[in-house]
């Protein structure tokens, strides 16, 4: 005899069950904590923007916070369940995709909002491009190295980005569109590169998830 409560659910989840599944997924990925971290990044950026930064400091400041938000998003991809979760159903990729997209949008929105009324170097367009690109790097690293180690790629890229900004003063300037933080906000090549990396990261993490051993 199979008890009612343990029966396999029918295909096509009722709305409340779908919502519960999404909430459970978000909780398992520590999304509330991630949102808190993103909000904290935006608040600290807002406070920092009131500081009298020199020109170089003002340029690299948003990039550091963008990297912080992107690293937080990449860290949410780590699964505490591993293989057992992957065997549970077809909705997991959609949940991964939705989580990554929603958090990226939240991060870009929060950082752009932090810059309203203050001098945010590069403006909102720069924030969107850099956050998306850095998140893409993190998602790709999560798929290859695991969600817990995804920050390594973003950290390395942050170093390269900060150095590229430095070379705008002390040449020879690095001008590759693949180093998008050093390009102007309206640069199409840089936006394309960042977009491609973000798309690749989304695809990788949606299809395969983060490469996490059980317990990490």
Partner 1 sequence: MTAAPVAPALPLRAAGRLLRLELRRSAMLTMAPLAAVLFWFVVYRPSMAFPPLWNVRAMGMQTRAVSVFAPTVIGAAAWIGSREGRHAITDLVAGTARSRWARQFAAWAAATGWALLAYLACVAVLYVVTARQAGGGGPLWWPVAVGAASLPAFAALGFAAGALRPSRFTTPLVAILAFLALQLSVQMIHDSGSDWQISPLVAGPWQIGADEGVATFYHYLPDLPIAQIMFLAGLTAALLGVLGLPAAAGGRWLRRSAAAVTAAGLLTCGTAVALAGTGRLDAHGMIAIPGLHSAAGDRPVGYAPVCGHTAIPVCLHPAYTVYLPAVTAALEPVLDEVAGLPGAPVRISQAAATYRQETGNGVAIGLAGPLISGTPPVYHLLLPNQRGGPTMTVSQLADAVRTDTRHELLASLICGDAREPNPAQQAIVAAMLNTYDKVPDASVAAKARRFAALPATARHAWLVEHLAALRSGRLTLAQLP
Residue ranges in contact with partner 1 by CB under 8 A: 30, 33-34, 37, 48, 51, 53-54, 57, 60-61, 64-65, 67-68, 71-72, 74-76, 78, 147-152, 154-156, 158-160, 162-163, 167, 169-170, 172, 215-216
In whole angstroms, how close is the CB of 54 to partner 1 at the nearest point?
7
In whole angstroms, how close is the CB of 43 to partner 1 at the nearest point?
13
Nearer to partner 1, 74 or 139 (CB): 74
Nearer to partner 1, 53 or 85 (CB): 53
In whole angstroms, how close is the CB of 163 to partner 1 at the nearest point?
5
In whole angstroms, how close is the CB of 208 to partner 1 at the nearest point?
19
Q: How far is CA 171 from CA 63, 164, 165, 189, in A?
A: 20, 9, 10, 21
In whole angstroms, how close is the CB of 3 to partner 1 at the nearest point?
31
Nearer to partner 1, 75 or 194 (CB): 75
Nearer to partner 1, 60 or 131 (CB): 60
Nearer to partner 1, 118 or 156 (CB): 156
């Amino acid at each position: 005899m199979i008890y009612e409560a343990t029966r396999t659910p029918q295909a096509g989840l009722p709305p409340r069950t779908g919502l519960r599944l999404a909430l459970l997924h978000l909780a398992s990925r520590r999304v509330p904590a991630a949102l808190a971290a993103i909000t904290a990044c935006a608040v600290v950026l807002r406070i920092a923007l009131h500081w009298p930064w020199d020109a170089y400091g003002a340029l690299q400041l948003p990039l550091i916070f963008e990297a912080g938000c992107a690293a937080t998003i990449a860290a949410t991809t780590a699964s505490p369940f591993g293989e057992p979760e992957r065997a549970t159903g077809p909705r997991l990729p959609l949940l991964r995709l939705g989580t990554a997209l929603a958090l990226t949008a939240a991060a870009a929105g929060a950082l752009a909002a932090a810059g309203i009324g203050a001098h945010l170097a590069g403006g909102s367009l720069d924030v969107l491009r850099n956050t998306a690109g850095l998140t893409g790097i993190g998602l790709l690293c999560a798929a290859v190295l695991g969600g817990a180690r995804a920050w390594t790629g973003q950290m390395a890229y942050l170093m390269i980005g900060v150095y590229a900004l430095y070379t705008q003063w002390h040449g020879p300037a690095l001008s590759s569109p693949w180093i998008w933080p050093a390009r102007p906000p309206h640069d199409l090549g840089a936006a394309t590169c960042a977009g491609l990396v973000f798309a690749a990261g989304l695809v990788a993490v949606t299809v395969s998830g983060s490469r996490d051993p059980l317990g990490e």
